[in-house]
Amino acid sequence: MSQEAKFSDILASSVHDLKNSLQIVRSLIKTLALEYANLERPEFRVLDFETARMNSCVMQLLILYRLDASHFKPLLEECRVLDILEEVGCQQSLQIQLRQISFTVECCDDLFCFCEDTLINTVLVSIVNNALRYCRQAIRLSGRQQDDYVCLCIEDDGPGFSSGIMAGTQGVKSSELEKGNTGLGLHFASTIAELHSQGQRRGFVVIDNESTLGGARFSLFLP
């Protein structure tokens, strides 16, 4: 085994351990936040948000490593879109409660898509984390059929995507990196979307500032 391969394996193992530790910390934060809910301590909101961000980044890096190392292909199964969206909301419930965010899910009961739901969940949780960072009072998740694709959409009422992020096809600008916008979430989302294919059609991602709430809109299209 080469030195580079050894380092990659050690790094992946370390990231996995970090992920497990973060999950324990997040569980403790949730327990304490609920126990002291009547005190309205903002520190719990900050702790939960920042650990959620770290956990999301770690998950993305770990999955990207596995994809690169093993040429992994997703196991596509028929999934109910409403279940996927509601699970994302459930995972973000503490942050939504602490920040008193209006969080809505809109999707018909009989909309299904073929995907690996674990990967799609990781994508959506990452984007919702970003929306929680910038939104003012509201986030909206929705699912709909659009031509030959199922579109999963996340909208917020924040300031919208910056011009640097919108021009992400040319790489993340240094000004965005200084703001903490690495572009990892969108890169990860695009990578996972493209892994989902039906015939000649592949999944893709679209970002714009045409949210019905007035802010950013992220759309994931699955064939």
Mean pLDDT of 131-143: 95
The domain spans of the chain are 1-72, 75-223
Indicate if the pLDDT at residue 177 is higher than 50: no
The C-alpha atoms of residue 56 and residue 184 are separated, in whole angstroms, by 10
C-beta of residue 205 within 8 angstroms of C-beta of residue 220 = yes
DSSP string, 65-111: HHHHHH------EEEEHHHHHHHHHHHTHHHHHHHT-EEEEE--TT-
Q: Minimum mean pLDDT among 69-83, 156-170, 200-214: which range?
A: 156-170
Mean pLDDT of 77-104: 91
Nearest to 193 by CA among 139, 137, 127, 98: 127
Between 112 and 67, residue with greater pLDDT: 112
C-beta of residue 189 within 8 angstroms of C-beta of residue 180 = no
Q: Minimum mean pLDDT among 35-49, 56-70, 151-165: which range?
A: 35-49
Q: According to the model, what pLDDT value does residue 74 have?
A: 80
pTM, full prediction: 0.79
| Domain boundaries 75-223, corresponding CATH code | 3.30.565.10
